[in-house]
Amino acid sequence: MSAALHSIGALLFITLGSCGSGPSSAGPGERPWGENPPSHVLFLSIDTLRADHLGFYGYPRPTSPRMDEFAEEAVIFDEAQASASWTLPGLASVLTSQFTSTHNCLSFGARLSESFTTLAELLLSAGYDTACVTSHVFVTTRHGLQQGFVHFDDSFAYPAVDPEDGITSEIISDKGIRFLEQKAAAEDPDPWFLWLHYFDPHDRYMEHAGISDAFVTPGERDNDTIRRDLYDGEIRFTDMHVGRVLDALQETGFGDDTIVVLFSDHGEEFLDHGSRGHGHTLFRELVRVPLVIRAPGIAFGRIETTVRTVDILPTLLDLTGLSAMPNVAGQSLAPLMRGGDFDSEPALAEIHPSGAPAQDCLVEDRYKLILQYPQGGVRRLLFDLRTDPEEQVDIAQEHPQVCERMERELLELKKKALERGAEHVPARNLELTPGQLEVLQQLGYGGEEGQ
């Protein structure tokens, strides 16, 4: 951690003030949950984290010993699909349970409309205390993702252009642990929702003393090998700090009463399909993300069914016993986690990279269809995920009927998503200043490194 971060003063949350209504059914001094308070909720999201670079998804390098340990006692989703391949639309989808066509956060300057009800707003109205500590410039008040958080600290999300200032996992965990300790010190605390968003595996990849050396590929290394090695070191570094929060959860006595959700917004490309970074394609290394949920009373296990990150919100409402939210894209995964009946729904992802054609993809259990829209046309790519999980062999020509069926399904989903969006105030598009654009460029946004 850099000296600059040490100097940023006391580890206090910014309090925005209560921006949602309190529990409506309870009288003065009463609490809506009576004798049985709902579980606390801890979100641990790690930006730019490829599922296949984690031990519990089979990666041979020791990038994630603490997350592996956590996953052993949780439900691991093998095939979780994000709804975009970069941060803002991906996380807006998690918080609203809507696809990108609905919330329309498609550009760097988009701001999530206040007309959406976010997970934090739902939990706040149910009597939760809500807090978020974030270190990514898109997870900020500027882009509207603070909605529903009483405490929202995005002070580390605006990094200086000097990349030495970009290491933040330690401070994010310190602040999260402080929140847990404050809650533990309170007498009979209300249920809480804490979201910690980590950024370190994101470009630029930094070296960490005592950690990165373990991930150096032997022999001569080209720049891409060095980048990948550094990326693995960043994961290990973040894992260590995520582990400290999980330890604190146990030490503060909240472990058994807390639903913990570990996930990423999208992955990262290392020339798997010819490019680097994220945001400009929808291949598996970007949209298949880690998702692990540990919930009181639910046994650990591994689930191969395709699920979506838009399912996280309905799942949490279900697990905490709150009313389901109507008119969302996701569905609760709780029946699946409990071993009950569950109908998997196809996963939609959408992007419109700046200066490049838009793209959509649809994933169902066996096949994945990608539609690219170059000017005046549609390019279709089809992959059989059973025989070609790395999506290397396009079989669209050989299976026109599968393509046709999936394209119909994709367009139908997109149409419904657009119709839901029409019920909302459109996303506001902010004019970013040249300085803000420069910071984004330093982080790999907008240039060849992707979004």
- Closest approach, Cβ 368 to Zn ion, in A, equals 21
Burial of residue 145, with CB atoms counted within 10 A of its CB: 0-12 exposed, 13-18 middle, 19 or more buried:
buried
Nearest-angstrom CA–CA distance, 94 and 112: 12
C-beta closer to Zn ion: residue 183 or 227: 227
User: What single string gives the DSSP state of each residue in 264-298?
Assistant: -S---EESTTS-EEBSS---HHHHEEEEEEE-TT-
Closer CB to Zn ion, 267 or 346, in the complex = 267
Write phi, then psi, for 225 (nearest 5 degrees): -65, -40
Output 265 or 311, the one with its CB closest to Zn ion: 265
> Site mask, Zn ion, residues 297-326, x = CB under 5 A?
------------------------------
Could you tell me if 247 and 239 are in contact, meaning their C-beta atoms sit under 8 angstroms apart?
no
Nearest distance in Å: CB 92, Zn ion: 12
Q: Judged by CB under 5 A, how many residues of this single chain contact Zn ion?
A: 3
What is the dihedral angle through the alpha carbons of 44, 107, 412, 382, rounded to the nearest 10 degrees?
-80
Q: Which stretch binds Zn ion (CB under 5 A): 231-239, 258-266, 306-314, 342-350?
A: 258-266
Name the minimum Å distance from CB 199 to Zn ion. Answer: 8
**Stretches 260-268, 328-336, 396-404, 433-441: which one binds Zn ion (CB under 5 A)?**
260-268
Interface with Zn ion by CB under 5 A: which range of 148-156, 264-272, 331-339, 427-435?
264-272
Cβ nearer to Zn ion, comparing 50 with 414: 50
Instruction: Provide the terminal-to-terminal Cα distance of the chain, rounded to the nearest Å.
Output: 25
Peptide bond into 204 cis (omega under 30): yes
Q: What percent helix, strand, coil does the chain show, rounded to 5?
A: 35, 20, 50
The tokens of 416 are what? 């419904």
Distance separating alpha carbons of residues 287 and 199, to the nearest angstrom: 17
CB of 361 to Zn ion, least distance (A): 18
CB of 424 to Zn ion, least distance (A): 23
Residues 198-217, one symbol each (x = binds Zn ion by CB under 5 A, - = not), give --------------------
Phi, psi for residue 129 in degrees, rounded to 5 = -90, 135
Start-end of H helices in 192-331: 223-251, 284-287, 312-319
Nearest to Zn ion of 40, 50 (CB atom): 50
Read off the amino acid at residue 292: V
Which of these ranges, 124-132, 261-269, 398-406, 434-442, lies near Zn ion under the rule CB under 5 A?
261-269
Contact call for residue 47 and Zn ion (CB under 5 A): yes
- Residue 87 or 134: which CB sits closer to Zn ion? 87
Stretch that binds Zn ion, among 39-47, 110-118, 311-319, 364-372 (CB under 5 A): 39-47
Q: Which residues of 323-342 are buried (b: 16+ CB within 10 A; e: fewer)?
A: eeeeebbbbbbbebbeeeeb
Residues 86-105 that bind Zn ion (CB under 5 A): 87
| Both tokens assigned to 105 | 């956060």
Instruction: State the minimum distance, in angstroms, from the CB of residue 296 to Zn ion.
Output: 29
Of the candidates 372, 371, 396, 373, the one whose C-alpha atom is nearest the C-alpha of residue 383 is: 396
CB of 169 to Zn ion, least distance (A): 15
Residue at token pair 């005046």: 376
Shortest CB 204 distance to Zn ion, Å = 14
Per-residue binding string, Zn ion, 265-284, x by CB under 5 A, is x-------------------
Query: Which contiguous run of DSSP H or E holds residue 259?
Result: strand 258-263
* Residue span binding Zn ion (CB under 5 A) among the ranges 41-49, 205-213, 385-393, 394-402: 41-49
Whole-number minimum distance, CB 50 to Zn ion, in Å?
A: 12
For the bound state, the minimum distance from the C-beta of residue 90 to Zn ion, rounded and expressed in Å, comes to: 6
For residue 4, give the 3-state DSSP assignment: helix
Q: Which of residues 68-87 bind Zn ion (CB under 5 A)?
A: 87
What Cα–Cα distance (Å) separates residue 363 from each residue in 89, 220, 371? 18, 38, 12
Residue closer to Zn ion by CB (options 39, 98) is 98
280 with 64: CB under 8 angstroms? Answer: no
As measured in angstroms, the least distance from the Cβ of 47 to Zn ion is 4
Taking CB atoms, the residue at the shortest distance from Zn ion is 87
Nearer Cβ to Zn ion, position 265 or 350? Answer: 265
Contact footprint for Zn ion (CB under 5 A): 47, 87, 265
